């Protein structure tokens, strides 16, 4: 039996394009926890359970109505990403981002990329501690999947 191939923190990378259309990406410095959330929003329909017996309970059928992908992160607020993140949030605009799955096998999805909005940016600090950051990035539509070459 083969052992699973797993990944560590550095094998799930989130990068933001530094200047629109430049193709130059940078990691968000200081973020020490990150996750990708993929959600299918469902619609439900009641369907008769029995056409002959109208007293029979209906059944619920579901279908995917829409899909969304978001990234959450938290960690230490670092000067290296300070202006990039504040400019992004205050602009209210989308930026190109990419999520790299470093350990992907050849032919499997290595990148999920596309325009995204920084929808939440929070900072907190306690006396004697470093400034903390929490963020939420939401793709504007479903990201493009690029296979590993």
Q: Which domain holds residue 103?
A: 9-40+67-147
Instruction: Please check whether residue 45 lies inside any domain of the structure.
Output: no
Instruction: Please check whether residue 51 lies inside any domain of the structure.
Output: no
Instruction: Please check whether residue 62 lies inside any domain of the structure.
Output: no
Identify the CATH number of the domain in which residue 107 sits. Answer: 2.30.110.20
Instruction: Please check whether residue 60 lies inside any domain of the structure.
Output: no
d(CA 30, CA 37): 20
Alpha-carbon distances, residue 90 vs 27, 78, 94, 106, 109 (angstroms): 19, 18, 11, 39, 32
Query: Is the model's pLDDT at 16 over the cut of 90?
Result: yes
Instruction: Please check whether residue 115 lies inside any domain of the structure.
Output: yes
Percent of the chain exceeding pLDDT 90 equals 95
Q: Give yes or no for a contact between 53 and 29, defined as CB atoms under 8 angstroms apart.
A: no
Question: What is the pLDDT at residue 1?
Answer: 86
Total count of domains within the chain = 1
d(CA 25, CA 23): 6
Instruction: Please check whether residue 47 lies inside any domain of the structure.
Output: no
pLDDT tens string 29-66: 999 999 999 999 999 999 999 999 999 999 999 999 99
Instruction: Please check whether residue 4 lies inside any domain of the structure.
Output: no
CA angle 2, 38, 30 (to 5 degrees): 85
Bin 75: left if φ > 0, else alpha if -120 < ψ < 50, else beta: left
pLDDT tens string 70-85: 999 999 999 999 999 9
């Amino acid at each position: 039996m083969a052992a699973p191939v797993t990944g560590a923190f550095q094998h799930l990378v989130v990068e933001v394009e530094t200047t629109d259309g430049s193709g130059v990406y940078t990691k968000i410095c200081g973020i020490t926890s990150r996750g990708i959330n993929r959600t299918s929003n469902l619609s439900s329909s009641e369907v008769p359970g029995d056409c002959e017996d109208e007293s029979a309970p209906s059944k619920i059928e579901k279908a995917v109505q829409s899909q969304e992908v978001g990234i959450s992160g938290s960690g230490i607020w670092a000067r290296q990403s300070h202006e990039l993140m504040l400019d992004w949030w205050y602009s209210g605009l989308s930026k190109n981002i990419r999520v790299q799955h470093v350990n992907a096998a050849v032919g499997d999805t290595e990148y999920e990329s596309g325009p995204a909005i920084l929808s939440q940016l929070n900072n907190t600090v306690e006396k004697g501690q470093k400034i903390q950051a929490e963020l939420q990035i939401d793709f504007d539509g479903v990201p493009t999947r690029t296979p590993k070459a």
